[in-house]
Amino acid sequence: MTINVTQSLMNWSNTVASNTTNFREFVSRWTDLFSLSGWVNTNASGSINTASVAATGNNVIAGYQVWRFNDTLHNNGFPVYVKVEYGAGAVSSGTNSSAGLWISAGFRHDGTASISETGVNGVGSTPRGVGFYVIGDPSTRRTLRFCCISGSDAVGIMGEDSTSTNNSAFSVERTKDSNGNSTNEGVVVSYMNTHGGWFRTSHMLYSYSTSSYIPVEDTIPNYILSNGHAAYGNDVTLGMFIPILSSSFGYPSRMLGIVNGSSLTQNTTHILNLFGTSSVYFIHSSTGPNDTARGRVDTNSGNFRWIMRYE
């Protein structure tokens, strides 16, 4: 099962925190994306009601959902639950607020709002990642892109298919081996908040079983990317994000990364080789990931574009 889905939001107007219709559509669209892509809604008690929810203020959570992976590993003793929280994310200027999407993952779920790595008290879940959907020109429709691979690994981009600098992205992915296959080691959550200008990656490992375990949070993205848009043999070097696990570096993500903007035609898909296999990737035109340049040492990093799995 490999699914990608795309949704278009209505024109947003002024303040999402006070525009109930727009905020409900934001929540409903993401709910549809997660469901259509193969994740399973646990229908946790207290889950958000998409028909009646309203944003209540800056950086305030309006409600949540708990989803689970739908893959072989989940069904064979290595579960992953993903908590998605919705709210008004931040004020960009004056009263012009943005919708927020908070992401966290855990290995246990008690049927309510709690996910955790060992029990039902919420201890040990990955730190919440914030993806802000920042309101811009109200005459422009926004696009939400989401891709789920085999019922587990997923990636999403929210924003405009344009040169907007406020397009955020996130991914939730099982750890990978040297061939790019999912392992039973753990799960990695990555997210880029382009409104605040920071990147976060966090992970959880099944081998940790004590409630005192605190997931490691990486604040600078790790990737390998050439300065120019062409590398040896005219191959394009993809900057897929590389997580730092508790003991060492993990293998690169198959879902989310960056590429030099002049390397490939933007706002379309490309068949690219990664881990020795061909996959379809979407190159976004947003310059949002330029904020990840904080993790680079060269001075030619102002031309980044999101690259996401999209097949």
**What does the alpha-carbon distance between residue 159 and residue 23 come to, in Å, rounded to a whole number?**
15
| Tokens at 222, concatenated | 């790790």
Distance CA(86)–CA(58), nearest Å, equals 12
**Mean pLDDT score, 276-285:** 86
Average pLDDT, stretch 184-193? 86
Q: Does residue 180 have a pLDDT over 70? A: yes
SS3 76: helix
Domain boundaries, the chain: 2-219
**What are the backbone angles phi and psi of residue 131, rounded to the nearest 5°?**
-115, 115
Q: What are phi and psi of 110, to 5 degrees?
A: -100, 10
Any alpha helices (H) in 56-156, and if so which ranges?
A: none
The pTM is what? 0.85
Kindly report, residue by residue over 118-138, the tens digit of the pLDDT. 533 334 566 665 444 444 444
Q: Which pLDDT score is estimated for 70?
A: 92
**Interval 17-37 mean pLDDT:** 78
